[in-house]
Each structure stands twice: as C-alpha cells, then as structure tokens.
Amino acid sequence: MIETIQWTDDGVVMIDQTRLPNEEVYVTCRNYHEVADAIRDMIIRGAPAIGVAAAMGVAIGVAQASSENLDSQVEAISKELAGTRPTAVNLFWAIDRMNRVYGSVRHLPFDEIRTRLVDEAKLVRVEDIEINMSLGRHGAALVPDGKTVLTHCNAGALATAGYGTALGVIRAAIESGKKIDVFADETRPFLQGARLTVWELQHDGIETTLITDNMAGHFLRSGRIGCVVVGADRIAANGDVANKIGTYSVAVLAKENNVPFYVAAPISTLDLTLATGDLIPIEERAASEVTQVFGVQVAPKNTAVRNPAFDVTPNRYVTAIITERGVARGPYEESLRALAAQ
Ligand code: MRU
C-alpha cells in the first residue's frame, strides 16, 4: 500500500509528490511551519490528503507548544495552516475539527491536551482510508464492465491518506471483478495525471494509458470510454464541483458524447455554506508552472500567463456525486443536504 502521510515520533512523514515518479523520497516535517510549507509547495496535495496534513500540522504544533497562552498559539497555528491553499475545503474542515477537539479538552492538563490532539489527527488519517473504501464500494456499481474509465488529475491514494476517491472507485470496481482499464489525462501544468496517477496505478498493476489533456474529446467520442470519474476540491450546495483545472472541459465533452461523468468525494469536501460554485475561491499559482515544464523554459520570457489551479464544473454536467454515504443525483440541493445530515 502507498503511504502518503504518517504520524511518527520524528514528525509528519510524507511521500514527496514533487519528486515522483522518478524518485520515491520521503520528507519529515518536524514542526507545523514545515507542514504548512509542504502543503503550499505541493509535497502533499489532493484535497483529503491536505486535510490530513493540516490535522497533523495542528497536532504537531500543539505537541511542541508551551503551556502558556495555548489558545493564542492554537489560533496562530491554525491561521498559518489555513493560509496555505484556498480551494480544497478539506483543509478548513480539518482545522475546524482539530479546533473543536481542542475546545473540548482545553481545560484538561497540558499533556492530556497534546495526547488528545495527536490521537485526533491520527484518527482523521485512518478514517479517510475507511471513507475512501466505502465510497469506492458505492461507486464500483456505476462503472461499466469491459470499458475504459477516464480520469483527470490524481484523485488516488496519493491525494488521500490511502486508496483514493476517483481511483478508489476504480480499485473497488476491479476488486469486484470488473474488467476495466484507465485513461489518465496528463493534467497540465503540474502533470498530476502523468506523474502521479500513472505511477500509482502501475504500482497496483492496473492497466493505464496516458493521454494529453487535449486528447480527451477524441477518446470520449470514440465510444471506448464507459465513464469519467474525477475527484473534487470543493462541492457547493447546488452540486457545482471545483476540481483540477481542465475538469470542466472533460465534463462538457462527456455530456456531448453521452458518457456519464461521476465525481467521487468524501462528505468533508461538501461546502453547503456556498450556494453555488461561483463562490468557490480559485487558487492562482505561479506563472512558471505554465512557462516552464519542470525547469525547462517553453515560452518566451515575460509571457503574460494565467494559471488558475482549479475550475468549476456546473452541476448540469455531473451525472452523480459518489460519497461514503451513498450516491447523490440531481437536484443536488436536496440530495447533498440529505447525505450531509445522515
Ligand atoms: O492541486 P492539487 O494537486 O492539490 O489538485 C488535486 C485535485 O484537483 C484532485 O482532483 C482533488 O483534490 C481530489 S483528490 C481526492
């Protein structure tokens, strides 16, 4: 099994996702500043994995705090972690969860507070794997047997504590006996598809074909693709889905070709405080990710660049949203609220 993130006596250990697939290197974050840097620098990425990292960041921050003015230290730790990346709501969900636990134990002896927060962060990790397995089981039934599944970015074990959301659905479909293979969009500019999805599916012996992003329409039209399954960074109350840039184009092309477009995400990715996807903050990343391909300049110097890391797919393109509590279909205002309330 791929170990994305772990709590150890030395610190928070993460597989360095900026170095994959060429090198399998593990980074140890020894304090909460290093955890925040790891999230910002994409050493760890993917909404649920960012959530686990943030929970462990709060835990290591409190474990190393002094016993005086603990409230203000927890606030400072939370603020620094919350400032790392704006789109994946799991980051804020995890920080809130840790703050709620802190609120319920802050009257206890300091050692006890530390233990409780470390235990909670470990629990967030373990629960994430269980959630993905159950989400996978719900989704497996939707995957057509004998066809190809198209996915975008990496919503796999590497984007979570393990097993994955979209790739969890694929894993569960294969475990249930279905004969499927995967087409992975390379996912410019950061190449999560080429570098991470292909690496982790090969690791599990799942037949995978890499395509560039602009080939998706061609293959969706060919009849070969049985369904699209992607993850999500934040899902608004109406079912609009923020996910890796390029997801929207794939969704439109899927609908045009009558191919089901599924989003696999845990309940912690729902943001029912936002009525529509237009309100989701979209991270803009460095221009160099577009002008360069891993350090090699591919555009003239001083080229004007836009680099939104995510886009929003309107709910009308989403065939269903697969969660650990079941599958939601439109109208999503009702179905998502019902699942969230369970
Ligand atoms: O910028 P990233 O690599 O953090 O973006 C990741 C994605 O967009 C994933 O599809 C999403 O977080 C779901 S991960 C299960």
Across the range 50-55, mean pLDDT stands at 98
The domains of the chain are located at 5-133, 139-340
The pick from 17, 43, 45 for probing ligand 1's pocket by mutation, whose C-beta has the most ligand atoms within 8 angstroms, reads 45
Contacting residues for 136 by C-beta, under 8 A, at least 6 apart = 163, 164, 168, 169, 171, 172, 173, 264
Residue-level pLDDT at 295: 87
- To which residue do tokens 């969009």 refer? 185
Pocket lining for ligand 1, CB < 6 angstroms: 45-48, 88, 153, 155, 159-160, 165, 192, 231-233, 243-244, 309
24: its two tokens: 């399998």
User: pLDDT band at residue 188, thresholds of 50, 70 and 90?
Assistant: very high
Is 139-340 a CATH 3.40.50.10470 domain?
Answer: yes
Q: What was the pLDDT predicted at 100? A: 98
Q: How far is the centre of ligand 1, averaged over its atoms, from the C-alpha of 119 (Å)?
A: 26
Sole residue written with tokens 């089901």? 260
pLDDT of res. 294 = 78
What are residue 149's DSSP bridge partners?
182, 227
Helix boundaries (H) for 191-331: 192, 198-203, 216-221, 247-256, 288-291
Active-site annotation holder among 128, 185, 233, 271: 233
| 3 state SS of 224 | coil
Q: Which two tokens stand for residue 332?
A: 């999503």
What is the chain's mean pLDDT, rounded? 98
Q: What is the pLDDT of residues 144-181, one digit of tens each?
A: 999 999 999 999 999 999 999 999 999 999 999 999 99
Specify the pairing of strand 234-236 against strand 225-230: unpaired
Ligand 1 centroid, distance to 26 Cα (angstroms): 20
Rounded to the nearest whole angstrom, what is the distance from the C-alpha of residue 306 to the centroid of ligand 1?
19
| Cβ(332)–Cβ(275) below 8 Å | no
- CA–CA dist 122, 107 (Å, integer): 22
* Mean pLDDT to the nearest integer, 183-209: 98
CA 230 to ligand 1: nearest atom: 10
**CATH class for the region spanning 5-133:** mainly alpha
- The rounded percent of the chain whose pLDDT value lies above 70 is 100
Q: Is 181 exposed, middle or buried (0-12, 13-18, 19+ CB in 10 A)?
A: middle
Which residues, in sequence order, are bridge partners of residue 322?
264, 327
